[in-house]
Structure 1
Amino acid sequence: MNIKELERRTGITKQNIRFYERKGLLNPVRNEGNNYREYVEEDVKTLEVVKILRKLDMSIEDIHRILQKEVELDVAVKEHLDVLREKQSQLEACIHVCQKLGGISLEELDTGKVLKEMEEEERKGGLFMAIVNDYKAVSREESLKEFNFVPNSMAKTSEEFSEALLEYAKEKGLNLVITEPGMYPIFEIDGIEYTADRVFSRMGAVIRCRMTHPELAEKAGVSPIKRKIYRMINRYFIFVLIAAFIIVPRTDNWWSGLLVCIMVMPWIIWNGILLWRSRN
């Protein structure tokens, strides 16, 4: 098909189609006889993907990475979601200031006061995003350091143990290589060394995998105190969530509300344990 037909099929203008070609998002074949571009169904699909992602405000560079298979779509979308949330926070701060300025004339505008409020909103937003990013980093660290899974077999032999590890890796899309098989095997995931053992619970056999050098997973820049707090929140998130719903709406300062949640968390956890014991 020619570019006019492609424009009709996709709803994208000729100018934009040529722009996407120059950026490497589209690579049509050339007719050997007249050197004209010839588009196929795959080009229609590619442009529809580009159209969707552009409507989501994703950059040309990120779309190019997706189309070139440099990054998976779901990973790129999750990264973009973080960017959108940060923009949302900034927009909410702008809306808040605009609402305050409504009905005020230029002569009545107290520029010093407004600038101070805007700087305070920016500071809060920056602090919040820093906390969120640090928590996400520590949460990822913890998931890398240790993980458990229930195998399809009891993993009674070295061969069954290795098979269980490889099945788990295939299911999760992991690049897992067993370097030392056995009942306490050593293996690597993307070059990171782990050891594994087998424990038993009511569910049966559980394979427990631990990073050999967990300190290598820790992100620089997160203080030990913050790391301990984030670890505690990550392990007992459900209890923190309950406390947050109860306490935070009653406090004016969200950070102080979070600190209160952390303080009461041990009490909530202990009572949860007692309740569980009483029912079992």
Structure 2
Amino acid sequence: MMNIKEAASRLGISARAIRFYEEKGLILPAKQSSNGYRTYTENDIWRLQTIAALREIGMSLQDITHALGEIDQGNQQRLEEYLELQQAVMYAQWIELKRMMETTQRMIDLNRQDGPLDVSHLHDLADSARRLREARQNWHDRWNYDTQAAIHDQRVQAEGRVSTEHPNSEGRYHSNDTVQSSFYLYHNYDEALEQTAHWISPALGEKGLDIGTGTGNLAGKLLQHGADMTAIDQSREMLRRCRTKYPEMHVKLGNFLALPFADHSFDFVVSSFAFHHLSPDQQILALQEMQRVLTSRGRIGLTDLMFVDAAHRESYIRQAETTGHQEQLNALRERHFPLLGELCSWLEQQGYVTKHVRHNELLHTLLAVPLR
């Protein structure tokens, strides 16, 4: 047993901080009956150490409360999710700081050029940086994939039949009926994933990252090819199902716009049926993030619904409007199917050679391999 001064000295924190944590209900030390003074046991000290460690990495008091509850219940998986979420936040902040430093350096370079400075160039740089920052911050899961995790594998194998399930007031799905649909995201699903795995063709032990993995179907195929796979997704429920299917896979919370990994961590990056959830500005940020985490010879494999070019998109929209296919029109409003030609051009400007194959009217697999 020790008093608050002794506890503070042992932990290297202030007595005021300990009282603050007590006020927030994070720790409940016993009180002496004779004088009402608090006494701290070894378990209290351990709990305070845990709180201090979680505060050190920037976790909010609310999240610390939840994390301590999971620790008390012995739920290591939920605690890991809280830590991963905090790590993702820190990576996002780090990436944003890097972008700010790069923009500042470009402003310095402009100022050093001979001749009078055109201040409008500084304004353009600042505006561009602002738009990219907002693009990174404004992404959210409009489709609530946590509620879809239980039926995801069923949906991707439906081959033209989609669930008529609709969320009730609690966001839960309540029907297992299926109906023929005029618009279906997953035609030729297995063929496209097999093509991606074939083109990536990982060597034994190569490190790969699958972004927006869902329940891990693409990552699982690459795992079978001998790759050391890491899979990330923003949906906890999707990742739980992925862990159950592939316990040997590294699974982590994260998203396209701030990949929670160090630079040059992977030999290849893949993604399937997820890239179109990003806006055009966010898609560029996602490609830059892929480049950041890839080795110098790292390759990119994207399988997704894409238009070949702007003319293809306009023709598709006109046809949907003429035939009254509301599902197609809704999909175009809710998602951002990229232009294949623009993707290839951007990647080639970054030093990649690209190739692609078409699986159906919209679904393509794209491979990008660096020339160097």
TM-score, length-normalised on structure 1?
0.51
Q: How far, CA to CA, are the matches of 2:84 and 2:135 in structure 1?
A: 21
Aligned to 2:85, what secondary structure does the other structure show?
Answer: helix
For residues 24 and 85 of structure 1, do their structure 2 counterparts lie closer, same or farther at Cα, with a shift above 3 Å needed?
same
For residues 126 and 34 of structure 1, do their structure 2 counterparts lie closer, same or farther at Cα, with a shift above 3 Å needed?
same
Map 1:73-88 onto structure 2 (within 5 A): 73-88=79-94
Larger helix share, 1 or 2: 1
Count of equivalent residues: 194
CA displacement at 1:265 relative to structure 2: 7.6
Q: Tell me if 1:253 matches 2:346.
A: yes
Q: How far, CA to CA, are the matches of 1:96 and 1:48 in structure 2?
A: 37
CA displacement at 1:236 relative to structure 2: 3.6
Q: Deviations over 1:229-262 (max 9, x none)?
A: 9x877544559836984369x97836999xx979
CA displacement at 1:51 relative to structure 2: 1.4
- Match in the other structure for 2:339: none
For residues 33 and 86 of structure 1, do their structure 2 counterparts lie closer, same or farther at Cα, with a shift above 3 Å needed?
same
Aligned to 1:212, what secondary structure does the other structure show?
Answer: coil
Q: How far, CA to CA, are the matches of 2:119 and 2:94 in structure 1?
A: 25
Q: How far, CA to CA, are the matches of 1:256 and 1:34 in structure 2?
A: 74
Q: Tell me if 1:96 matches 2:60.
A: no
CA displacement at 1:120 relative to structure 2: 1.9
CA displacement at 1:45 relative to structure 2: 0.8
Q: How far, CA to CA, are the matches of 1:255 and 1:78 in structure 2?
A: 34
- Match in the other structure for 1:212: 176
Q: Conserved in 2, the CA contact under 8 Å of 1:86 and 1:129?
A: no
96-105 or 33-42: bigger deviation: 96-105
Letter of the 1:61 partner, please give it: Q
For residues 137 and 263 of structure 1, do their structure 2 counterparts lie closer, same or farther at Cα, with a shift above 3 Å needed?
farther
Map 1:1-280 onto structure 2 (within 5 A): 1-69=2-70, 72-102=78-108, 104=111, 112-127=120-135, 134=141, 143-146=149-152, 212=176, 234=213, 235-236=217-218, 238=222, 241=269, 245-246=298-299, 253=346, 263-264=356-357
Q: Conserved in 1, the CA contact under 8 Å of 2:147 and 2:173?
A: no
Larger radius of gyration: 1
Q: How far, CA to CA, are the matches of 1:261 and 1:24 in structure 2?
A: 57
Q: Deviations over 1:73-112 (max 9, x none)?
A: 122223223322322232122111222344759xx77654
Q: How far, CA to CA, are the matches of 1:31 and 1:20 in structure 2?
A: 19
CA displacement at 1:137 relative to structure 2: 5.8
Letter of the 2:45 partner, please give it: V
Q: Conserved in 2, the CA contact under 8 Å of 1:3 and 1:14?
A: yes
Letter of the 1:246 partner, please give it: R
Q: How far, CA to CA, are the matches of 2:134 and 2:127 in structure 1?
A: 10
Q: Conserved in 2, the CA contact under 8 Å of 1:145 and 1:214?
A: no
Aligned to 1:253, what secondary structure does the other structure show?
Answer: helix
For residues 142 and 49 of structure 1, do their structure 2 counterparts lie closer, same or farther at Cα, with a shift above 3 Å needed?
same
What is the CA RMSD across the aligned residues, in angstroms?
4.8
TM-score, length-normalised on structure 2?
0.40
Letter of the 1:253 partner, please give it: W
Aligned to 2:132, what secondary structure does the other structure show?
Answer: helix
Q: Which has the higher contact order (CA 8 A, sep 6+)?
A: 2
What is the percentage of aligned positions where both structures have the same residue?
Answer: 22
Which ranges in structure 2 are unaligned for 5 or more consecutive residues? 155-171, 194-212, 226-267, 272-289, 291-297, 302-342, 366-372
